[in-house]
Amino acid sequence: TLCRSDRLVGQVLGEVGTLPDIYSQIQITYFLLRRLVGVRTEGDRRGARVAGLTKNEILMVNIGSLCTGGRVVDVQGELAKIQLTNPVCTQVSEKVALSRRVGQSFRLIGWGEIRRGTIIRPQAEIHAIPTVAAN
């Protein structure tokens, strides 16, 4: 099967030169939720408050169908720089979801939009397909 054990989920396949850029680090404008979804504090009916992003914090970043880890490198106002665990093939203005570990699971804390990033240039190996001469 093509997606055996979900190892290819979120991966992008296409002809050389037709795909968006590959980023190892992204800068996003982000918006945090006021309260955590599905988590309640004792004696309070509402969810726990969402704290702001901090430098060196580990987040789960969802871009399209790809989930990858990320470390917050810098935070300035509504801008955050995130170093991704795995490079991501995406484009500027793509939406992202941000999740933080709360207890044993990750909880949605906000969303954002990619503004720019550090681009990786892949080394494409193009192999000619052998042809069989007709007799």
pTM, entire model: 0.81
- The answer as to whether 64 is a domain residue is yes
pLDDT in tens, the chain (135 residues): 556 667 777 788 788 788 899 999 999 999 999 988 777 666 666 678 899 999 999 999 999 988 999 999 999 999 999 999 999 999 999 999 999 998 888 999 999 999 999 999 877 666 666 666 665
- The answer as to whether 128 is a domain residue is no
**Strands 105-120 and 95-102, sheet pairing:** antiparallel
Give me the domain span that covers residue 95.
18-120
Q: Any idea what the CATH number is for the domain that residue 80 is in?
A: 2.40.30.10
Q: Give the pLDDT score at 96.
A: 98
- The answer as to whether 71 is a domain residue is yes
Dihedral of the alpha carbons of 47, 83, 121, 8, in degrees to the nearest 10: -50
